[in-house]
Amino acid sequence: MITVRVTDEVMEYLRKLPPQPRHALRRAIKGLSKEEGDIRPLSEELEGFHRLRVGSHRVIFEYETVRGKQTITCVFAAPRRWIYEVFQSRLSE
């Protein structure tokens, strides 16, 4: 089983959501420990990251090795309509 870490930024996004999408995203993030869900690798400028699709929301995460264990770190979450543009601009900063 893979350890899943969630950044404060993703937690803040979850807190602001209405109950139904918040619970769906939390379940989906927990499922990442078994690599379950609609997961796809990102390409081009975002290569090395993956996305988890949960309805109209996306969670961007990366695989890392922390203390010798494989870990998934959820680094950004937002609605589909603008997540990739915002995340890419943050990487450029």
In tens, the pLDDT along 42-73 reads 998 899 999 999 999 999 999 999 788 999 99
Spatial separation of the C-alpha atoms in residues 68 and 73, rounded to whole Å: 15
Q: Give the pLDDT mean for 24-30.
A: 97
Q: Is the CA virtual torsion 37, 84, 41, 7 positive or negative?
A: negative
* 25 has pLDDT over 80: yes
- Beta strands (DSSP E) in the chain are 3-6, 38-41, 50-54, 57-66, 69-79
Three-state secondary structure call for residue 30: helix
With a threshold of 0.75, does the pTM exceed it? yes
In tens, the pLDDT along 28-47 reads 999 999 999 999 999 988 99
Q: What is the pLDDT of residue 89?
A: 86
Q: Go through the domains of the chain in sequence order and give each one's CATH number.
A: 3-92 (3.30.2310.20)
